[in-house]
Amino acid sequence: MWEKLELPFICERMVAFSIPQQQVAWVMAWDALFQVTLAPEVNVLSVLHGEEELDKVFDEDRNLLIIGEQVYPLLGLYGGVPILVNELGDQLSLEPNQDRLVVLNGEGQVKQAIEFFDLSNDWRWATFSANGHYLLIGVPYDLFIYQWRSPYNNAVATD
């Protein structure tokens, strides 16, 4: 079962968010960059301020965030390529006219439906994390993060 993580306020309006790698996601606003650590506990850290600083780490042509040696694909205003199928064969399906994400199992049956709220009706993306343990829904004013919790033993998936 996908369980929602509680996030502190990150920013007024996002431009993009990254597909998480090693339990870290990035959120980009017009003039700031935030690091969102997912485990062992959720933490948000403001790391860059100003458009000039963002220009140094954001490759707009390829829609990538480059921090040191790490490259993070982004989803948001400039498009992106989400991870829509995880290692178990689960698939993500954003319902176009509803604020709802449906998680389908490998046979195409509904495994879980997740409602969310979107104030903008601008862009919206859903993706699994690189390791498949997290599920993210991003819209300009909100980022919703869910973590897989096994219904059998309450185990939480982590890296």
- pLDDT tens column, 2-12: 999 999 999 99
**What local confidence, expressed as pLDDT, does residue 121 receive?**
82
What is the band of 158 on the pLDDT scale with cuts at 50, 70, 90? Answer: low
Cβ atoms 118, 131 nearer than 8 A: no
pLDDT at residue 97, as a whole number: 81
> pLDDT of 77-130, one tens digit each?
999 999 999 998 999 999 878 899 999 999 999 999 999 999 888 899 999 999
Q: By residue range, what is the domain housing residue 116?
A: 2-148
Query: Rounded distance, CA 5 to CA 10, Å?
Result: 14
Q: What is the mean pLDDT of the chain?
A: 92
- Determine, yes or no, domain membership for 17: yes
Q: For 13-17, 26-30, 94-98, 109-113, which range has the lowest pLDDT when averaged over its residues?
A: 94-98
pLDDT of residue 157: 56
Residue 153: predicted pLDDT: 56
- Note whether residue 155 is domain-resident: no
Which pLDDT value is given to residue 102? Answer: 97
154 domain residue, yes or no: no
Question: What local confidence, expressed as pLDDT, does residue 125 receive?
Answer: 97
Q: Where are the alpha helices (DSSP H) in 8-158?
A: 51-57
Number of structural domains (the chain) is 1
Q: Which residues of 100-127 are buried (b: 16+ CB within 10 A; e: fewer)?
A: ebbbbeeeeeeeeebebebeeeebbbbb
Residue 27 lies in a domain: yes
Residue 153 lies in a domain: no
How many alpha carbons lie under 13 Å from residue 26 in its C-beta half-sphere?
A: 24
